[in-house]
Structure 1
Amino acid sequence: MADKIKSEIVRIDLTDASYKDSHAYIEPTYVNFFFGNNGAGKSTIAKAIKSSAGLTYAPGRTASDYLPLVYNQDFIDENFRSYRNMKGVFTLNAKNAEIQKQIDEVTEKRTQVKKLLSEASDKRGKITNAKDKLHKDFLKECWERGRTLRDDFPGTMDKKGKSDPFAREILKHAPADIDMEDLRRLYESAYSETAKRYQRFTTIADPMVMDTVDGREILSKPIVNSADTELAGFLRDIGATEWMRQGHDAYSHNANGRCPYCGGDLPADFEQTFIASFDNRYQENLRLLDEFLARYKKSANELFVPLQTTPVELYPQIDLKPYADKLAVLKAAIQANIETIKSKAENPASAVALTDIQPILEDLAEIINGFNSLIDANNAIVAAGPTKRTECTDAVFSLLAFMLKDVIATYRKSDGDMQAELDALDAEIKAHNATLDEIKTQLKTLRGKTVETDTAKDSINLMLRDSGMRGFSLEPKAGVDNVYEVRRPDGTIADNLSEGEKNFIAFLYFYHLVHGSDSADGETREKIVVIDDPVSSMDSGSLFIVSTLVRQMIEICRNNADNRNRTAEGNFIKQIFILTHNAYFHREVSYSYVAKYDYASFYLIRKIGTKSTIKLCDDVNPNAPTERINVNPVKNSYAALWDEYKEVQSAVPLMNVIRRILEYYFLQLCGYEGSQLRQVILIQGKAEGRFKDADGNDDEEKFQLASSMLAYINASSIGMSDGMDFVEDCLDADECRSIFEMIFDAMKQKQHYDMMMGNQ
């Protein structure tokens, strides 16, 4: 057997009234039967279908494609408020065969156009879904691959904390390969809560400043004494000229006429002799050397002291170590040069050369310029404020666009191709809808030529007579078009219709409305029909006619799923739902459809506490274990009691079901007296040890529960107790079931219990 065939409404999710928070749903087929007691939740299903609440239609179809017609108490009230008048029923029983033929042809054309429209809509839906998936995949990839930049630059993500706006922002920017370090510095300055200006490092104006100190040429000249005195000659001979000069310079001011080396008295003219022993050029060169040393030291101090003094607060991005290392190299080089100059002063005759400081200063200047560039960039960002934040955000998203350029290119191409297909389908759908509008106008014009109401009125009156209701009929209301009154044979208004009579007339009107329309330009096909308890208060004659008419409507719906061996013409009822609590009516309309598993479904509606439940009634086919079959939930009342016993959970309603089973089976069918049951179950049962606990001790609670259960079968059938036999709130459902099974076992009826429970 095939699987169930989906129809127009493919799913109904029920969330109102007693279905609230129950997560109940239905996946209906073409023909759907619902059985349940009054108040179980049937009307909620009917109202949901009429309002389209919670309904899912077949792909490409919507609620606007169908005319839902619901027969329920609301329908009766709306059409019989005064119990007198009924709107006219317009039918298409055309007297002009040619016009009817045109209607059929136009209707067939509409069917074909709707099919094309549905196919285009389905295709559009698939492409839309594919386009949506492409977009979601693109968003996901952008989001995943952009995670690092989002984490590193969170300030640029303002209001873009979700994948959709994040990806849209990327698409706005042209790709650019941005240097990460530059971007990081820009971000930290633009978005830092403590962003501020920083002092620049002292720059080196002239890297050659130490290599161009005036008087440097004296270092390459030998400075020698050429005086022609006896002392000068002596000093030259022993090589002590500089030793003598330095000693004189160091000690002459404290000599007090004595030699600082031997302590002997100096001649009175020693100073004149000493001065005469050193010529003027020698003296001049020594002076030039001393002045050069002084200038070199001064230049070194003027250069080094500012360089040594770094800004009080360093820019955080600066690593000072390379600067400090190079500054140490500079200091060492300058100190070495000073020592070289001093060595020249100690040995003026020697020629010396200084180490060039320019390369060191150039390296140091490069470091300083790098530092100042960073500081200047930071200070410019701080000064620019919001402008730099925008620049930073643009830079981040331009970098993202660069990182994702291949992904973006692929996405844009695929998205563009799909959009082109959608545009073409939209044009096709628009054309089909325009054609359908034209067809609707044609049908309205054609129907205007065939609309009449007498056929429907006469048909309703005939059915009223056939059902035995001969005391009234429908007659046109004077002065009002297409409105009828319910009149007695003497012409008076029928004011005192019974509830059953009113419901029967309302159903006959509904039946003709299903076949026709309530207006001249109304739609006559593509209907979804819901019939909710149609035989309320009706007698057997009316019930029979209603059952016959319902079966005819079911057959019209059946033609959509299986049009072989037609018993009714047409297929304008696309789906039908029949809900009832009347077991006789249910069997009358459903018995021949139990075997039609593929297009008919049976449901059982129950209410446990305040919650309604819906059960699809099917089972494994015993003759073909891989297939399933429908199971009609309406059985005889006794079998239904056992089904209820299996499902009910609460102890109080369970005891009511147990009472009804025990009364019917043991008292009515088997003919036992209550005293007999008590003798066998209680007296003999106790003697046989049926009321023992797991340890083999007498269980008085079990005995009392069994005693109460037997007493309870004589209690009120409405499920109330006087409270003398037991306290209902203290009942345990599992214990009740155990005692119930024990009763059948004690009465030697365990086989019957197992059969009804499905244990064999």
Structure 2
Amino acid sequence: MITNIVLNNIASYKSKAELKTDKKVNIIYGLNGSGKSTFSNYFYDPQSTKYEHCSHIGDYDTILVYNQKFIQDNFYSKDTLSGIFSLSKENKEAKEKVEELTLKLEEISKQKQQLRKDIVKQQSNISDAKEKAQNKTWEIKTSYTGGDRVLEFCLKGKMGSKESLFNNLCLIPMPTSKPSKTIANLKDEANAIDGDAAVKHSTLSTFNSFILSPEDTLSLNEIIVGSNDSPVSKLIGKLKNSDWVSDGLKYLDQIDGPQCPFCQADTITEQLAKNIRDYFDESYQNSIIEIKSIQTRYTSIVESIPKLDDYKNSQFSSGYLAQLNEHHAQLSKDAEANLELIKQKVSNPSLQVTLHDISATVSAFNLVVESINKLIVTHNSKIDNSANELANIKTDFWKILRYEYDQTISNLNAIQSEAEKIITEKTKDETAKTELERTTNSDRVEHQKSTVNIDEAIININQGLTDIGITDFYIEKHEGDLYRLVRTDSHLKIFSSLSEGEKMIISLLYFRELFRGKQSATEGNVRKIAVIDDPVSSLSHIFVYNIGQLLKNDFFNSKDIEQVFVLSHSLYFFYELADANHDRRKESQSLFRFSKNSNGSSISSIKYDEIQNDYQSYWSVINDDKQPPALIANCMRNVIEYFFNFVQKADLSNVIQKPELKNPRFQSFLRYINRESHSLGQNIFDFKEFNYDDFKEGLRLLFEHTGYPEHYKKMSKINI
């Protein structure tokens, strides 16, 4: 069935005109020149290049068109017609076999259609699953090409479409385990080596050795005492108070007289003071100076220890903060303890001092720093080789996404695998059914060859002529698979001598048989659509009813015909075909109107109660100033002739002899109306004086001054 027809840029269809239907029977009314012939000619030869802007949508096997081209191609140049084959009623057994095989073919066709539906359904399942998966993975594009755009470079060349991005993701091997890096890690890496944050960093300094020289170690462990040559040396040695005595020397310079700075007794003599000073000789003083020098050097080392913040502030130390805190605190503590021992040695030169070994703590701290420095060196190297590093980030990026979207891909693969399995099975069955269909049809053709003839078609056509009342010519068999027209009293070629009405009747009966029978001995069941253009255009009203009944019985009500389009310029015939029963008409019929004005032809659907009679149609043309001038003028003449000749029984020549119409502006109108018979439309252009307003005003005056102004007013409101 055809559901949609578009005519565009052809003949009078200056712009797109569209007909939509879902009914078997479609009845179309249109005045001559409104576009009916273009409609039927399109379906007669739809492949013609001149119809390149026209189209139709539907499911069928063949379209047969009855119009003037059909009559010319089948009758005008020949009296011998091609045979139409029908099943022979005599060969009952063969006929039953053909019917059996035909039913089998229909069943096979249904099975194939179901298989095809099953295949299409599975293909649709795959398509839907792909679309769902592609929409899901398209989140990658929307997520990483917006916002900070740090990783947008990873999608370069893969954002052309949802399909290309999804296919790229599917090509990546699924990681054997969850990637250790995260998208956040990759963003940090990308920022670090590319962009404003891509800055090289200096490595952190390690600690120098805190180990003193062997001489310094020996000095700190040495007991420093005064000279043995002093008279007080034995006493100081016995008392072991040289450090106390040495510290008190500074007080000797502060006293004046013999008073002892220690016991306050007058015991200090010049000789005693000299003996004490002699005890602390130059050698003693040099040893003290050396110890103080060691203190100075060690203090410098301790003060040179970098602050912990110098290490903690590095972005690469985040994973080592606990170790840095621990080792730096221990190192500072041990260094301060050693410095305190040296200070004690300075205060008490006779004290033997052994410093704590802090080399292990220094090494531990330096190992942590070296680990951090490796990260810094790696970072700096990445900046130097940013192109390679970005490529590595891109690889890691897609590995992470492949892992994250594995469920989406796996679901699609599962659906696709199951669907393809079904498709393979159904396709195999479809192929087998196609082969069975071929062999069954071959069998049907062989049986049908022995059962077909054209006798039944001849009988049907002749019976149709008799039913209509035509008995002076008939169809007879001629030269095998042909038949011809003959007069009752002659066997000469007679088609060219038939009237237009007789030609139309015989051609329509022939057209009917094309649907009843087969056009070849091997033709199977075919879904046929009929397009019938103005089948009563040259017939008298005597035959209109008969043709209407023929169309209803053999086309509208036939189960062998898929769909029918009938076009007519006759409202009488249009009424004859349209079902008066509202429910039946609503179920099976659609009604349309073809109209034409200066903008071209158009197609519109109409309701049954909107159908006008011929007289009303003439007025609808007259009231449309966009209609062709010749058509308007002819319709005016038809209206005047119909109204005054048939309604008022008035002579036309008397009607137009009104003084009000003597004005020169109405002379063209009067000359045209006063012609003895209808003229061809183009004749009006001989005057080249057509003026719509003048003609319309003349028509108004004619009705007004003959006593029918109200009728004119009423009819002037009718529109198409």
**TM-score tier after normalising by the smaller chain length:** 0.5 to 0.7
Alignment of 1:216-235 (within 5 A): 217=217, 224=224, 226-227=226-227
Q: Which whole-Å CA distance do the structure 1 matches of 2:664 and 2:124 have between them? A: 64
Q: Please tell me whether residue 82 in structure 1 is matched to residue 77 in structure 2.
A: yes
Aligned residue number for residue 183 of structure 1: 186
Q: What SS does the aligned partner of 1:577 have? A: strand
Q: Summarize the Cα distance change of 1:74–1:726 in structure 2 as closer, same or farther, 3 Å threshold.
A: closer
Q: What SS does the aligned partner of 2:90 have? A: coil
Q: Please tell me whether residue 143 in structure 1 is matched to residue 138 in structure 2.
A: yes
Q: CA deviation at 1:137?
A: 3.3
Q: Please tell me whether residue 210 in structure 1 is matched to residue 209 in structure 2.
A: yes
Q: CA deviation at 1:133?
A: 3.7
Amino acid at match of 1:211: F
Q: Summarize the Cα distance change of 1:743–1:493 in structure 2 as closer, same or farther, 3 Å threshold.
A: closer
Q: Which whole-Å CA distance do the structure 1 matches of 2:545 and 2:470 have between them? A: 12
Q: CA deviation at 1:586?
A: 3.5
Deviation string 1:511-570 (CA, Å, 9 cap, x unpaired) is 222222222212344222222233454566776665454333224xx35xxxxxxxxxxx
Q: Summarize the Cα distance change of 1:433–1:188 in structure 2 as closer, same or farther, 3 Å threshold.
A: farther
Q: Tell which deviates more after alignment, 601-610 or 669-678.
A: 669-678
Q: CA deviation at 1:97?
A: 1.4
Q: What SS does the aligned partner of 2:346 have? A: coil
Q: Which whole-Å CA distance do the structure 2 matches of 1:709 and 1:428 have between them? A: 81
Indicate which of 91, 96, 103 corresponds to 1:108: 103
Indicate which of 598, 601, 611 corresponds to 1:612: 601
Q: Which whole-Å CA distance do the structure 2 matches of 1:497 and 1:658 have between them? A: 31
Deviation string 1:347-389 (CA, Å, 9 cap, x unpaired) is 8236798997667655544443333343445556634776x37
Q: What SS does the aligned partner of 2:64 have? A: strand
Alignment of 1:240-639 (within 5 A): 277-278=280-281, 280=283, 283=286, 286-287=289-290, 290=293, 348-349=346-347, 361=366, 364-377=369-382, 382-383=387-388, 388=392, 391-392=395-396, 394-395=398-399, 397-402=401-406, 405=407, 407-457=408-458, 459-460=460-461, 468=470, 470=472, 476=478, 482-483=481-482, 489=490, 491=492, 504-537=505-538, 546-555=547-556, 558-559=557-558, 571-590=559-578, 595-618=584-607, 630-631=608-609, 633=611, 635-639=612-616
Q: Summarize the Cα distance change of 1:725–1:541 in structure 2 as closer, same or farther, 3 Å threshold.
A: closer
Q: Which whole-Å CA distance do the structure 2 matches of 1:582 and 1:137 have between them? A: 56
Q: Which whole-Å CA distance do the structure 2 matches of 1:71 and 1:420 have between them? A: 49
Q: What SS does the aligned partner of 2:87 have? A: coil
Q: CA deviation at 1:170?
A: 3.4
Deviation string 1:385-437 (CA, Å, 9 cap, x unpaired) is 76x376246325314415xx2x4454544555555555554445444444433
Aligned residue number for residue 261 of structure 1: none
Q: CA deviation at 1:144?
A: 3.9
Q: Which whole-Å CA distance do the structure 2 matches of 1:353 and 1:74 have between them? A: 125
Q: CA deviation at 1:606?
A: 1.7
Alignment length (residue pairs): 639
Aligned residue number for residue 93 of structure 2: 98
Q: What SS does the aligned partner of 1:602 have? A: strand
Aligned residue number for residue 714 of structure 2: 753
- Would you say the 8 A contact 2:592–2:605 is kept in 1? yes
- Would you say the 8 A contact 1:447–1:521 is kept in 2? yes
Amino acid at match of 1:28: D
Unaligned 5+ segments in structure 2 are 48-53, 237-241, 253-275, 674-680
Q: Summarize the Cα distance change of 1:677–1:107 in structure 2 as closer, same or farther, 3 Å threshold.
A: farther
Q: Tell which deviates more after alignment, 652-661 or 218-227.
A: 652-661
Aligned residue number for residue 166 of structure 1: 165
Amino acid at match of 2:399: A
Amino acid at match of 2:478: P
Q: Which whole-Å CA distance do the structure 2 matches of 1:166 and 1:674 have between them? A: 83
Q: CA deviation at 1:674?
A: 7.0
- Would you say the 8 A contact 1:33–1:578 is kept in 2? yes
Deviation string 1:200-237 (CA, Å, 9 cap, x unpaired) is 74366x65x33345467479658855245699999974
Q: Which whole-Å CA distance do the structure 2 matches of 1:341 and 1:185 have between them? A: 44
Amino acid at match of 1:636: N
Q: What SS does the aligned partner of 1:534 have? A: coil
Q: Which whole-Å CA distance do the structure 1 matches of 2:42 and 2:295 have between them? A: 109
Q: Which whole-Å CA distance do the structure 1 matches of 2:2 and 2:100 have between them? A: 27
- Would you say the 8 A contact 1:69–1:530 is kept in 2? yes
Q: CA deviation at 1:243?
A: 12
Q: Summarize the Cα distance change of 1:475–1:487 in structure 2 as closer, same or farther, 3 Å threshold.
A: farther
Q: What SS does the aligned partner of 2:587 have? A: coil
- Would you say the 8 A contact 2:595–2:601 is kept in 1? yes
Q: CA deviation at 1:29?
A: 0.8
- Would you say the 8 A contact 1:143–1:163 is kept in 2? yes
Q: Which whole-Å CA distance do the structure 2 matches of 1:727 and 1:603 have between them? A: 28
Q: Summarize the Cα distance change of 1:713–1:492 in structure 2 as closer, same or farther, 3 Å threshold.
A: closer
Q: Summarize the Cα distance change of 1:89–1:753 in structure 2 as closer, same or farther, 3 Å threshold.
A: same
Alignment of 1:617-696 (within 5 A): 617-618=606-607, 630-631=608-609, 633=611, 635-641=612-618, 650=626, 663=640, 669=647
Identity percentage over the alignment?
A: 16
Q: Which whole-Å CA distance do the structure 1 matches of 2:565 and 2:248 have between them? A: 135
Q: What SS does the aligned partner of 1:211 have? A: coil
Q: Tell which deviates more after alignment, 100-109 or 463-472.
A: 463-472
Amino acid at match of 1:31: V
- Would you say the 8 A contact 1:92–1:450 is kept in 2? yes
Aligned residue number for residue 693 of structure 1: none
Q: Summarize the Cα distance change of 1:551–1:226 in structure 2 as closer, same or farther, 3 Å threshold.
A: same
Q: CA deviation at 1:575?
A: 1.6
Q: Which whole-Å CA distance do the structure 2 matches of 1:341 and 1:168 have between them? A: 70
TM-score by length of 2: 0.67
Q: Tell which deviates more after alignment, 490-499 or 28-37.
A: 490-499
- Would you say the 8 A contact 1:69–1:529 is kept in 2? yes
- Would you say the 8 A contact 2:291–2:346 is kept in 1? no
Considering only CA atoms, is the larger Rg found in Structure 1 or Structure 2? Answer: 2
Q: Summarize the Cα distance change of 1:44–1:458 in structure 2 as closer, same or farther, 3 Å threshold.
A: same
Deviation string 1:273-307 (CA, Å, 9 cap, x unpaired) is 99994454763574476478559969998x989x9
Q: What SS does the aligned partner of 2:153 have? A: helix
